[in-house]
Structure 1
Amino acid sequence: MNLIVLGGTRFLGRHFVEAALARGHAVTIFTRGRIAVPWMGGVRHLVGDRDPATAPGLAALADGSWDAAIDCSGYVPRCVRASAQMLAGHAGRYLFVSSMSAYAEPVVARSDESEPVATLDDPASEDVTAHYGALKAACEREVVAAFGAERATIIRPGLIVGPHDSTDRFGYWVARFAAPALLGDRGEEIVVPAPPERPIQFIDARDLAVWMVVLVERRMAGVYNACSEAGQWTMGDLVDALMDSAQRRGRVPRPVWIDEAALLAAGVAPWTGLPLWIPGNDPAMAGFLEIGCRRAHRAGLALRPLAATVADTLQWLLARDNAGAWQKALTAREERSLVAGR
């Protein structure tokens, strides 16, 4: 197949390109040209801008022809509308990477793709930080409007993790257990949000990327929640995998399970201060890490063992420049205070 990727040099887009090349497909990437292309001569590179108001805009897409377009970098409906309308006559289908955040609150545990999505109070808003989920949902509608439901594939991933993940959410836990020096002066006692049976949910970007290639190969349309299945993993499962990784490096960390009342009283920020932690008493988001993904798994989504994602993330973290990472995570001082007060 001949594929065009909007993005392609960062995280999920990068993994998608590698998966597509490995399966013998021809790949074109469309980027702003600010990041070096990792594949020497292996892909065609078009330069432009997702925002049609910023020259040269989407002009580079006007003359090509592709079997499918893969959009890993769409956040603003106006820009997604422009790319989808431009490509509607140049690509056989459009796969858009949305998000589980597109669902309207409250997020219900084990809900499926039929749940309502968020809407914008101000349809003109382009404030991605404030309205990320509602904007993603609006982007989905633009894709379907341009391509029709039969040529549109909408993927709603949860937390995407693994090598090249610059958000450092999953990476925080890998570093904290197996390579704590990356986080500064840290002791062996590690604050972990109780209880161990707390459900968590994420997906390795490489597994998501391979499955996305399969979807376009099979010309599968529709909406898919794409993550580990609801209830597949708990915080205790993650800690077990992290402990094994740490022990392989000669470390013996000690998890300290802190209940969420103590975490909230100490001012720890959910999701950012302690990644993967959403308080159970949050009525809007309590089900966010337990969304049903059965449809995607029935359509061929397969996940590697958790230990493999931990190991590969660790190797990537050890090799990269970590300056400036984990600025919002729990500090060493805050962690010691929580441990002392337990």
Structure 2
Amino acid sequence: MTDVLILGGTGWLGGEAARRWMDAGARVTCLARGGRPAPYGAALVTADRDHPEAYAHVADREWEEVLDVSSTPRHVETAIAALAGRTRHWTYVSSVSVYASSDVAGQDEGAELADPAAPGEPYDYARAKAACEAAVRHALGGRTAVVRPGLVVGPGDPSDRFGYWPARFALAGGEPVLAPEAEDRTAQVIDVRDLADQIVALGRERWVGTMNAVGDPVPLARLLQLARETAGHTGDLIVADDAWLEQHEVQHWAGPRSLPLWLPRDMPGFATRTNAVYRLLGGVLRDLRVTLADTLADERARGLDRDRAGGLTRAEEEVLLAEHRSEHGAEQRADSGTGESG
């Protein structure tokens, strides 16, 4: 039987990968801090990766596969020191954020990376991921798959980014929803279930190399329209331009008081990375409508008006809509499904 060690495995992507490995007949062990259960059928080893003996209970076994998703270089380095000699293949989940710039569309895995973080420096996600990749390659270069996902979406997403849109359209119903200018903007997402399937496939084949795990680029306007259709939204889509949103302290991309998936215009390459290697290796991308429908069902189960990790609260949005209406008045048309910019 295939023995798989997942460093984590009790969170979102790690849990999906654990379940898929077990579906493939593997024996899965998750090493995590605890507080959350391992997926049903997986063994849980409780350990803090900051502790020097974190791997004591797993370093005396042979592993067919080790999967790590950490963005903390010292965690990756200590895991390698303890386990590199005990595994036949290692999969490290990095991020497309590891690239040095996002100003050129359509770049592949050979694009320049951010400088790896040095010990003791303030935390920077891109540089931390670059340092993790460098550590894995140096120690296990001939036994390593490096996977660089883009925006991971789907049911259970703890970041609340992608799910904001179908949830907000459903919550608004026949009332207006505020949106950013989508012209010339792109989104690029991958369903967590498709990503987990591909991670397991790479591990089973012991594939070695680097792969962007991203969906096909889609115009942001198209994604928002599909989200509206999925939610059955019949209200107006009120489009505010970048300057207006920034003046009203609406944030890009993620986090509180943001419009998720809205990117600054100086990042035209971020959501356009090539997925040719992913496709060549048999990676599947389910229909975006399916992901939206499943995400909305999950959002309804969790509560459309719950506190969110990302996006505007409905109360914040209503204040902004009133301000936009007051400032633009007659310029703002009330045609359902069109939206006006201002």
Q: Return the offset for 1:95.
A: 0.3
Matched, 1:206 2:193: yes
* Residue in 1 that maps onto 2:107: 111
| Paired AA for residue 146 in structure 1 | A
Could you report, residue by residue, the CA deviation over 1:132-156 in whole angstroms, capped at 9, with x for unpaired residues? Answer: 0110010001111221x22011011
Instruction: Give the alignment's TM-score, normalised by structure 2.
Output: 0.87
The match for 1:215 among 199, 202, 213 is: 202
Contact kept? 1:197, 1:234, Cα under 8 Å: yes
Q: Return the offset for 1:29.
A: 0.9
* Residue in 2 that maps onto 1:32: 33
Contact kept? 2:158, 2:309, Cα under 8 Å: no
Matched, 1:190 2:177: yes
* Residue in 1 that maps onto 2:324: 338
- 1:135-154, aligned counterparts within 5 Å? 135-147=128-140, 149-154=141-146
* Residue in 2 that maps onto 1:86: 82
| Paired AA for residue 61 in structure 2 | G
Q: Return the offset for 1:197.
A: 4.9
- 1:229-268, aligned counterparts within 5 Å? 229=216, 231=217, 233-247=218-232, 251-268=233-250
Alpha-carbon spacing, 1:28–1:190, altered in 2? closer, same or farther (3 Å): same
Tell which deviates more after alignment, 258-267 or 11-20: 258-267
- 1:49-88, aligned counterparts within 5 Å? 49-53=48-52, 56-72=53-69, 74-88=70-84
Contact kept? 2:166, 2:228, Cα under 8 Å: no
Question: For 2:162, what is the secondary structure of its paired residue?
Answer: helix
Contact kept? 2:18, 2:39, Cα under 8 Å: no
Alpha-carbon spacing, 1:142–1:107, altered in 2? closer, same or farther (3 Å): farther
RMSD (Å) for aligned C-alpha atoms: 2.0
* Residue in 1 that maps onto 2:157: 165
Q: Return the offset for 1:10.
A: 1.0
**1 CA distance for matches of 2:208 and 2:321?**
46
Contact kept? 1:52, 1:82, Cα under 8 Å: no
The match for 1:329 among 312, 315, 325 is: 312
**2 CA distance for matches of 1:162 and 1:254?**
26
| Paired AA for residue 78 in structure 2 | A
| Paired AA for residue 11 in structure 1 | W
* Residue in 2 that maps onto 1:183: none
**2 CA distance for matches of 1:339 and 1:60?**
61
* Residue in 2 that maps onto 1:300: 282
Deviant stretches of 4+, over 4 Å: none
Q: Which runs of 5+ in 1 are unaligned?
A: 181-185
Q: Which runs of 5+ in 2 are unaligned?
A: 329-341
Instruction: Give the alignment's TM-score, normalised by structure 1.
Output: 0.87
* Residue in 2 that maps onto 1:278: 263
